[in-house]
């Protein structure tokens, strides 16, 4: 074993002591090729991690690996091969994350990751943007006002997480799409998030109000709403979270 490989092994063993997940991801990064469970455990053992300890940690690590967009898990007969993905899909914008929470059936891990994206956007909304659209920062000298805004953001994040759980539960129970949409919109209203247009309805195209799938649509033409937009009703201003998506 070379000095460099010995150093890498010691590093992986130290990493495993603080985070088994991080150590396994490092093994996959260093490998450069797909590895099955036994091969991953072999590398950990060679690095100084006791085999019985690595084996005991594998089940929870494996579950989280399957939820990690940076790891590709491919079945090969009875085996699953894990490969590091150097080009994972970009993280969704807060607006995309919100739409996915509302519209998609997600695993618990995916729900939590998306909810965290939205929470982070809400926490920073006073001095930034919620989907990359810059907003004017309205400075105030009132600590009381700042406190109220912060509390509103925390309440909104809590409500969003609850909404994601509610949607998942309703879909699992076989609720109709109409019923799920009704529940979602009711909860969104409590957050002061109001829909702009409704999916499936026909409207007159307004380039300042709508986001078109293709260019060249004439102003005022009848178009179909593919995805609704949302406006956040804040004290003293309306923040456009996302324009409705339309097609002709």
Q: Give the DSSP H/E element, type plus range, for residue 45.
A: helix 37-46
Write down the pLDDT at residue 44: 92
Q: Which residue has the higher pLDDT, 245 or 141?
A: 245
Q: Give the DSSP H/E element, type plus range, for residue 230.
A: strand 229-234
Which stretch of 46-50, 112-116, 240-244 has the lowest confidence by average pLDDT? 112-116
Q: Say how far apart CA 82 and CA 62 lie, in whole Å.
A: 10
Handedness of CA 203, 207, 208, 212 (dihedral sign): positive
Percentage of the chain lying above the pLDDT 70 cut: 65
Count CA atoms closer than 13 A to 206's CA, side-chain side. Answer: 9
What is the residue whose two structure tokens read 């339309």? 246
Which stretch of 2-11, 143-152, 222-231 has the lowest confidence by average pLDDT? 2-11
**pLDDT at residue 9 greater than cutoff 50:** no
Report, as an integer, the average pLDDT of 149-170. 67
Q: Which residue has the higher pLDDT, 223 or 116?
A: 223
Write down the pLDDT at residue 170: 73
**Buried-state track 91-101, b at ≥16 Cβ within 10 A, e below 16:** ebbbbbbbbbb
Chain mean pLDDT for the chain: 75
Q: Which of 129-138, 188-197, 220-229 has the highest mean pLDDT?
A: 220-229
Q: What is the pLDDT of residues 29-88, one digit of tens each?
A: 998 899 999 999 999 999 899 999 999 999 988 888 887 878 888 887 888 899 888 776
Percentage of the chain lying above the pLDDT 90 cut: 15
- Read off the pTM: 0.38
Q: Confidence band (pLDDT; 50, 70, 90) for 176?
A: confident
**pLDDT at residue 203 greater than cutoff 80:** yes
Write down the pLDDT at residue 178: 76
Write down the pLDDT at residue 27: 92
Residues 6+ apart with CB under 8 A from 187: 159, 162, 163, 166
């Amino acid at each position: 074993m070379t000095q460099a490989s010995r150093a890498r092994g010691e590093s992986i063993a130290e990493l495993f002591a603080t985070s088994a997940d991080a150590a396994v991801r490092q093994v996959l990064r260093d490998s450069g090729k797909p590895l099955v469970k036994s091969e991953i455990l072999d590398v950990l053992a060679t690095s100084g991690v006791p085999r019985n300890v690595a084996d005991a940690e594998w089940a929870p690590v494996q579950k989280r690996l399957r939820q990690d967009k940076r790891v590709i898990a491919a079945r090969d007969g009875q085996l699953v091969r894990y490969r590091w993905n150097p080009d994972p899909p970009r993280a969704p914008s807060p607006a995309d994350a919100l739409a996915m929470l509302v519209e998609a059936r997600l695993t618990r891990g995916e729900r939590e990751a998306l909810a965290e994206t939205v929470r982070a956007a809400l926490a920073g909304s006073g001095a930034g943007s919620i989907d990359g659209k810059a907003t004017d920062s309205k400075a105030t000298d009132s600590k009381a006002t700042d406190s109220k805004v912060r509390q509103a953001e925390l309440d909104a994040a809590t409500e969003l997480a609850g909404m994601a759980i509610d949607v998942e539960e309703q879909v699992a129970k076989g609720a109709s799409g109409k019923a799920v949409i009704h529940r979602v919109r009711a909860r969104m209203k409590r957050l002061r998030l109001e829909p702009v247009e409704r999916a499936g309805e026909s409207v007159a195209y307004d380039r300042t109000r709508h986001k078109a799938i293709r260019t060249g649509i004439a102003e005022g033409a009848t178009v179909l709403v593919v995805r609704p937009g949302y406006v956040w009703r804040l004290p003293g201003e309306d923040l456009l979270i996302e324009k409705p998506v339309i097609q002709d």
